[in-house]
Amino acid sequence: MKRADSRASDLLLRAIDRIAYLENKTKQVVYDELGYALGRQGGSAIQYWIYHRRAPSKLEDVENLARIIARRNGWENEVDLHAYLEYAGHPSSDHLSRQLMGTNDSNHENLESEVKPLSAFIIGPPILQPHLFFGRARELRNIFNALNGQAMQNVAIIGAQRSGKTSLLHYLRKITRTTPTALRPNQNTIWLAQPGQYHWLYIDFQDPRVCTREGFMTFVLRTLGYPVPASCDLVQFVDIFARYLTQPTVILLDEVQIALTNPEFTQQFWWSLRSLVSNLTEGRLALILAAQRNPAMLAIDHGRPSPFLNIFGHNLTLGPLTPEEALELIHSSPRPFPAADIDWILQTSGCWPALLQILCSTRLVALEEETLKDKWKEEALANIMPYRHLFESQQ
Amino acid sequence: MKQTAVSRFFATTPLHIGFWLLVKPSAWRKALDQIDLTLPTEFSYLTLTPEQRRNPVLIQFLFNNYLLLVMFNVAAVAIFLSLAKIAQPILIQSLWLTLAYSLIIPPVMSLKSSVSSAYLLGGTIALGIGLLARHTNYIYIPIALAGGLTGNVLLNQARRTARWFNSRELAGMLTGILAAVLFIFIGISIISGQIFGVYTGVPGAMPLPARFAWIITTSAGILYLVIESLVLKSHTNKRLINVLPIAALEGLVISVSYYLFFISIENTPVFLISAGFSGGMLMCFLFTATWQLANQVGGAQAGAMAASLVLGISWVYLSNDLVMRYTFEQINIVRALLVTLAGLTFSVWRPIVSLPFIAIWNNLLYTLDSRSNVSPLKYFKLHAAFFEEGQSLVWPGLADYLILQAERDPEGFEKSKLKFSDSPQRRALQAAEIELLARKLESCADLASISGASRLAQWNFSDSQISTLLSPFARMSHDVESALNQSSVYQTRLGLGRVRDDLNLFQRELILSPQANSSRFTRVTAAWDRIIENKIERLTREANYHHEIANPYICGMPLNDQQEVFVGRTDIMARLESLLLGPNRPPLHLYGQRRMGKTSLLLNLDHYLPSTIISVFLDGQGLAGYSQLMDLFYYVINEIRSEAYRQRGLRLPAIIRQENKSLFAQISRWIDHSEKILVEHDAIVLLMMDEFEALEPILQNNKSQIQEYLGLARFVIQHRPHFKLLFVGSHTLDEINAWSTFLFNAQVVKIGRLAPSETMRLIENPVKNFQLTYVPAASQHILYLTRGHPHLVQSICYELVMLKNEQTSSQRFLATMADVEEAANRTLTSSSFFFVDVRGPQINPQTAAMLDHLSSLGPEGSISRDEWARCFPENFEANLALALKRDLVEDENGFYHFQVEMIRRWFAYRPF
């Protein structure tokens, strides 16, 4: 018997004790449940590992067990989970423990925020670091209000291209788990009563991995750490999801218009998804979708109306930021802009966040390079030209 | 400063050095550092660099202590023997011997072995021989003790780098011992004169004639010279020619001293001095040569052990030829071995043996310090933890002493932390720190101090268990800080509520935890919990005015039986109950427009139906993934079985998948068996199939069998009164072809909008203690806008609560007409999916155009049938019928108008 195996077994037993206590169950029941969750006939494998002080020999079992226990709050902390994975010989114990205990993103954010200046303007890619995200206070209140109740509700975010939908989805995913030190002062983090309980899953339908029905289902199950059958059909997907979902889980569906017009995602698929959200998960699953135009209209245009969309009782349309929010973004520049330039930026951008970022960035570069007085404005106008459609969408 | 340190350093005596070497090695190291930081802990004068050797401080240190050692030994022997009233001649002889050994051993050992062993070996042997000079049979005992103690010091030095005694070291030790035995054999042969055919006999037969003495001592000197040159060469890593003069000098000293020893008269000063010199030289040689050889072969540990054993035991034999009136006994070997081993293991047994005595001493110091109010502590520096470095057990009471020090002398406590951080007393330090931390945490009197706790306390303990124990406090302290920094009272309360929940959970974990310190921290969690709970209560009570209204409304999701916000529908429930309980009733078809609350009704039906009914909810959309009837039926039957067991504890028979048997027959048999059990227990299974239209694809896929199964279902309804079917959907029978033959005689129950009283209840009292109140016209206006459409009421009320929460506290709790209008406008956007569905798939474009026209006539606008037909003649009747079927318009005395104002607004608004 290896010493490492014995330590892994001790940690496993501790986790099972904890689950039994938290869920008010006997250990035997927990053994059986974990055994079933691992795809076995009962808890005998778990008992074997504990009584013979062994770690599972298959890496797959180690990982699945760690995931299942994490989902049931069995690990006291990340240190325990990390130690278990390490003693059981998992090659990526660092990464997996961070991922499972939900510190993956926030840790990165903390690190990044410590080394990066607060005020870097971002042009092009979505904003992934919460401290660089500005505005949308009303939308955030609406969305988190919908997620905070006894049964979570679903939200649809509609906004033109470059209106900031993807950044908002990433912000939602991260903000409640980011420590205040990694944020700007007075940036709210307390939106949910129990943020640690929530699982977040971001899906971008532009991602080729999810552009088929099976790819989508496999991706969702795998990312949430649920068992993935070799060939996953809709019935299995619904069954596994309903059976394994214990924690509040929010799935963020970005660019959903792609899926709605994709023949891979049939009527049955959307029905199943609706059933899963409405009736099979007792309010523990919520969907937040983002689309460039109203998906209901899109579905009608494609002759595929879907009652799926009826579960979205809250539809938000992303417009420009409020002037106060826009000013906050502008003032985050490391070098202050002249008042006249601020007015010009506010007016020219129409307070659209993407345009604000471009204009501020151009102004900042001009300040740093000390270019001619108004030369930067020409450049800035040229830079925002591709995004004029934002103003049209507003009209 | 430096001078003070040096002067203090020169106040050291050989006694200090002996104490340091045996009990407090770090002080020896410190003393060397004050002389020269480059000096190794174990060094001999010959192995030093020329610069180190020329260091006047070192020379002075060695010389001073050498003189002090000589004086101390002589004085100690004189005093002791005088007190013991020993006869003066013997006293004088003893003093001569002490003087001789004290003079010869320290310089020789310092020169070629090690300075530390020089003091220990010289001191112990000189003192021991001086005191036991008249007991010649026990003269080997101080030598064995000196060998053991010196070996112990060398061993401790060696064990810092090598922990375990391995085979290589064993081989080295044996080599050293065997070589020493060989040398002793040859040496004794020479000294005894046997090799020259002249037996000197045991001491006492001397003096020898000078010519014999000359031959013997010259031979001994030459032998010594040869071996010592090799030993020194190996020890110093120098060329033979360089070490030869020293070896020659030593050889000369040993020859002369032996010569004088042999030729002089017994007990004369010359005899005694030469005996001491020759004996001391021989002891140094035996120890050094063995140590060097074993060290070369097996390493430092082997060297130390071999040298100790050789010196300790050899003198039992050598005394035969070198000590007068000595009688050899076998038992002496055992005694010598035991004494040597006792010396060798001194650092092992000393801390254990001394523990009780020192613990009493420590306790005495603690009592003295705790009784006096002197700060800093007066006696703590005398605590054994500061001098007994060999103690691996934690001193009892040290943690309390450290806590006392932390309270009285924080600066001193910081020094103690440094001192003990890498010693075995670290655990006492840790216990003290934990207790101090617990006191600090417990002393937090308000939220501000809790939020600052993460800064005032040191959380990083190297012990992961303790870190795990304490990290939740750090986290919760941060969370409290974060909650206090939130911009709204609501978010502060939410944050504090979260911390309180975490605290409660953590407290339960602490109670269950097997860790020793966990119970200490339950007091802290209890104290924090009280503070946080009080704050939450105060925020709720005092700032009730500021807090936000909890939003109870739910949009888009069905309301289950856990949600208080489900209201009304008692009339439909009563009707369903009467229809279900009658015998041989046809299937029920609950029909209603989308978002009218059909699923919510089903999910709440349980509360209204008698307990004899086992309701089984099935979502047709959730079953849409099934492609085979067989799979679908198995699933449905399993759901019935599990609900029967959950609701009534009934065990209905299982159905086992048998591919070779007819599914129809299996289901028939199962229904028969189950019916019997249901009859027996007076139970009725109500199968509620929500969104049953979604099953149409599976019916289409199994066209060949479907009539057979629908026939079976019909049979069940007619002849199995304990099975009831309730189909729920938003389509009328004429819209669902596949089911029409089965449901043609279904009893249709229509679910419409809420009654006005139910609507008002949902608006004004959706949950207990709802804090929003309305001016009467405002709530009536919602009723007007929605006409009791449950989804629209929920949506407008939801938006209204969100809107009110954005307003200032003074406006927040009263809803006005303006607020309702604003909420209604927001609802047009937030419920756009619902409106798009109403105007899109549910009607055709021609009907939509008709309704667009009607909406343009304004809120109270209506249109006569004729005028409407004139405007939209194409398929007017069918289109009108569709609008009526979808409950969009209604006829009032031949004039049509929208049933629901919000829907009219959407048609008029038409953003897409």
**DSSP-assigned states of every residue in B193-207:** TGGGT----STTSPP
| Residue B355 confidence (pLDDT) above 50 | yes
Identify the residue among B482, B553, B557, B700 best suited for mutation to test binding to A, counting A beta carbons within 10 A and taking the highest: B557
Q: How far apart are the first and last CA of chain A?
A: 72
Least Cα distance to B743 among B717, B705, B708, B704 occurs for: B717
- Whether A322 has its CB under 8 Å from any CB of chain B: the answer is no
How far apart (Å, rounded) are the C-alpha atoms in residues B53 and B57?
Answer: 10
- B627 to chain A, closest Cα gap in Å: 9
- Using a 10 angstrom Cβ sphere, with 0-12 exposed, 13-18 middle and 19 or more buried, the burial of residue B712 is middle
If you write DSSP's letter for every residue of A76-92 in order, what string do you get?
A: SSHHHHHHHHHHTT-TT
- B567 to chain A, closest Cα gap in Å: 17
- The first and second tokens of residue B634, run together, are 């198995």
CA A212 to chain centre: 20
- The first and second tokens of residue B465, run together, are 């268990």
Q: Residues with Cβ < 8 Å from B552, sequence gap 6 or more?
A: B564, B565, B766, B767, B770, B801
CA B514 to chain centre: 13
Cβ–Cβ gap A180/B509 under 8 Å: no
Cβ–Cβ gap A151/B834 under 8 Å: no
How far apart (Å, rounded) are the C-alpha atoms in residues B446 and B872?
Answer: 74
Q: Which residue has the higher pLDDT, B31 or B799?
A: B799
H or E segment to which residue A269 belongs: helix A267-275
Query: Cα Rg for chain A, rounded, in angstroms?
Result: 24
How far apart (Å, rounded) are the C-alpha atoms in residues B816 and B835?
Answer: 25
Cβ–Cβ gap A279/B690 under 8 Å: yes
Preceding peptide of B207 cis, ω within 30°: yes
- Whether A311 has its CB under 8 Å from any CB of chain B: the answer is yes
B-chain CB neighbours of A295 within 8 Å are 833
Q: Decide: B128 and B294 in contact? Cβ < 8 Å.
A: no
A residues 158..197 contacting B (CB < 8 A): 158, 179-180, 186, 188-191, 193-195
B residues 832..861 contacting A (CB < 8 A): 832-834, 836-837, 840-841
pTM > 0.90: yes or no: no
Helix (H, G, I), strand (E, B) or coil at B558: coil
Give the pLDDT confidence score for residue B553 in this predicted structure: 92
Give the pLDDT confidence score for residue B872 in this predicted structure: 93
- Whether B389 has its CB under 8 Å from any CB of chain A: the answer is no
Q: Decide: B729 and B693 in contact? Cβ < 8 Å.
A: yes
Of A76, A179, A190, the CB nearest to B483: A190
**Distance set, CA B910 to CA A204, A222, B828, B847 (Å):** 30, 42, 10, 15
Split at pLDDT 50, 70, 90, the class of B458 is: low
ipTM above 0.95, yes or no: no
Cβ–Cβ gap A145/B560 under 8 Å: no
Of B492, B631, B840, the CB nearest to A296: B840
Give the pLDDT confidence score for residue A109 in this predicted structure: 39
Least Cα distance to B318 among B145, B188, B178, B196 occurs for: B188
How far apart (Å, rounded) are the C-alpha atoms in residues A282 and A245?
Answer: 10
Split at pLDDT 50, 70, 90, the class of B826 is: very high
| Residue B34 confidence (pLDDT) above 80 | yes
How far apart (Å, rounded) are the C-alpha atoms in residues B177 and B187?
Answer: 15
How far apart (Å, rounded) are the C-alpha atoms in residues B312 and B309?
Answer: 5
B-chain CB neighbours of A314 within 8 Å are 555-556, 798, 830
Map out the domains of chain A with their CATH numbers. Answer: 3-100 (1.10.260), 105-116+127-317 (3.40.50.300), 323-394 (no CATH)
Cβ–Cβ gap A314/B471 under 8 Å: no
| Residue B175 confidence (pLDDT) above 50 | yes
Give all strands (DSSP E) within B691-753, no chain letters: 723-729, 747-750
- Partner residues linked to B897 by β-bridges: B890
Give the whole-number percent of chain A exceeding pLDDT 70.
91
DSSP A280: I
Amino acid at site B380: F
How far apart (Å, rounded) are the C-alpha atoms in residues B601 and B617?
Answer: 11
Identify the residue among B469, B832, B886 best suited for mutation to test binding to A, counting A beta carbons within 10 A and taking the highest: B832
CA A137 to chain centre: 18
How far apart (Å, rounded) are the C-alpha atoms in residues B758 and B438?
Answer: 56
Q: Decide: B322 and B281 in contact? Cβ < 8 Å.
A: no
Give the whole-number percent of chain B exceeding pLDDT 90.
19
Lowest mean pLDDT segment, chosen from B450-464, B660-674, B754-768 = B450-464
- The first and second tokens of residue A193, run together, are 């009563």
Q: Residues with Cβ < 8 Å from B703, sequence gap 6 or more?
A: none
Q: Decide: B229 and B247 in contact? Cβ < 8 Å.
A: yes
How far apart (Å, rounded) are the C-alpha atoms in residues B506 and B790?
Answer: 43
How far apart (Å, rounded) are the C-alpha atoms in residues B233 and A239?
Answer: 84
- Whether B501 has its CB under 8 Å from any CB of chain A: the answer is yes
With tokens 């000098």, the residue in question is B249
Helix (H, G, I), strand (E, B) or coil at B110: helix
Give the pLDDT confidence score for residue B688 in this predicted structure: 92
Identify the residue among A294, A314, A316 best suited for mutation to test binding to B, counting B beta carbons within 10 A and taking the highest: A314
Other C-beta atoms closer than 10 Å to the C-beta of A389 total 12
Split at pLDDT 50, 70, 90, the class of B774 is: very high
Q: Decide: B580 and B613 in contact? Cβ < 8 Å.
A: yes
How far apart (Å, rounded) are the C-alpha atoms in residues B807 and A138?
Answer: 12
Q: Which residue has the higher pLDDT, B74 or B1?
A: B74
Q: What is the pLDDT of residues B646-698, one digit of tens each?
A: 888 888 888 877 777 777 888 888 998 999 999 999 899 999 999 888 888 78
Q: Residues with Cβ < 8 Å from B369, sequence gap 6 or more?
A: B377, B378, B379, B380, B401, B404
Q: Which residue has the higher pLDDT, B79 or B630?
A: B79
Least Cα distance to B410 among B390, B440, B386 occurs for: B440
| Residue B41 confidence (pLDDT) above 70 | yes
How many residues would you count in chain B?
912
Averaged over successive runs of 10 residues, the pLDDT of chain A (395 residues) comes to 74 83 74 80 82 83 85 78 85 75 45 44 85 91 88 92 92 87 80 84 90 92 86 88 87 91 87 90 92 80 73 91 92 88 91 92 84 80 83 65
- Whether B514 has its CB under 8 Å from any CB of chain A: the answer is no
- The first and second tokens of residue B835, run together, are 């409106």
Burial B503-517 (b: 16+ CB within 10 A, else e): beebbebbeebeeeb
Angle at B44 between CA B41 and CA B47, to 5 degrees: 100
Q: Decide: B311 and B147 in contact? Cβ < 8 Å.
A: yes
How far apart (Å, rounded) are the C-alpha atoms in residues B497 and B532?
Answer: 8
Q: Decide: B612 and B682 in contact? Cβ < 8 Å.
A: yes
How far apart (Å, rounded) are the C-alpha atoms in residues A236 and A226?
Answer: 12
Q: What is the mean pLDDT of residues B462-487?
A: 74
Least Cα distance to B428 among B406, B456, B458, B457 occurs for: B406
Q: Decide: B618 and B639 in contact? Cβ < 8 Å.
A: yes
DSSP B363: H
Preceding peptide of B376 cis, ω within 30°: yes
| Residue B3 confidence (pLDDT) above 50 | no
Helix (H, G, I), strand (E, B) or coil at A315: strand
Map out the domains of chain B with their CATH numbers. Answer: 14-344 (no CATH), 353-542 (no CATH), 570-750 (3.40.50.300), 756-830 (1.10.8), 834-909 (1.10.10.10)
How many residues would you count in chain A?
395
Can you list the alpha helix ranges (DSSP code H) found in B488-542? 489-512, 518-542
B-chain CB neighbours of A283 within 8 Å are 557, 560
Cβ–Cβ gap B836/A300 under 8 Å: yes
B-chain CB neighbours of A238 within 8 Å are 622, 625
Give the pLDDT confidence score for residue B198 in this predicted structure: 61
Q: How many CB pairs under 8 A join A and B?
A: 173
Split at pLDDT 50, 70, 90, the class of B163 is: low
B-chain CB neighbours of A214 within 8 Å are none
What mean pLDDT, rounded, does chain B reach? 84
Q: Name the residue in chain B with its Cα closest to that of A295.
A: B833
- B141 to chain A, closest Cα gap in Å: 47
Q: Helix, strand, coil % (nearest 5) of chain A? A: 55, 5, 35
How far apart (Å, rounded) are the C-alpha atoms in residues A154 and A286?
Answer: 5
Of B494, B562, B594, the CB nearest to A190: B494
A residues 4..33 contacting B (CB < 8 A): 18, 21
Least Cα distance to B46 among B102, B105, B120, B112 occurs for: B112
If you write DSSP's letter for every residue of B44-73 in order, what string do you get?
A: -GGGS-HHHHT-HHHHHHHHHHHHHHHHHH
Residue B737 has φ and ψ, to the nearest 5°, of -60, -45
Give the whole-number percent of chain B exceeding pLDDT 70.
92
**Distance set, CA A163 to CA A250, A295, A315 (Å):** 22, 16, 15
Q: Name the residue in chain A with its Cα closest to that of B832.
A: A315
Of B497, B623, B833, the CB nearest to A312: B833
Q: How far apart are the first and last CA of chain B?
A: 89
Q: What is the pLDDT of residues B722-754, one digit of tens each?
A: 888 898 988 877 777 667 777 777 888 889 899
A residues 43..82 contacting B (CB < 8 A): 76-77, 79-80
- Partner residues linked to A156 by β-bridges: A289, A315
Q: Which residue has the higher pLDDT, B773 or B388?
A: B773
- Using a 10 angstrom Cβ sphere, with 0-12 exposed, 13-18 middle and 19 or more buried, the burial of residue B752 is middle
Q: Name the residue in chain B with its Cα closest to that of A276.
A: B622
Give the pLDDT confidence score for residue B100 in this predicted structure: 92
Q: Name the residue in chain A with its Cα closest to that of B632.
A: A235
- Whether B556 has its CB under 8 Å from any CB of chain A: the answer is yes
- A379 to chain B, closest Cα gap in Å: 35
Q: What is the pLDDT of residues B109-133, one digit of tens each?
A: 888 888 888 888 888 998 898 888 7
Split at pLDDT 50, 70, 90, the class of B375 is: confident
Q: Decide: A111 and A179 in contact? Cβ < 8 Å.
A: no
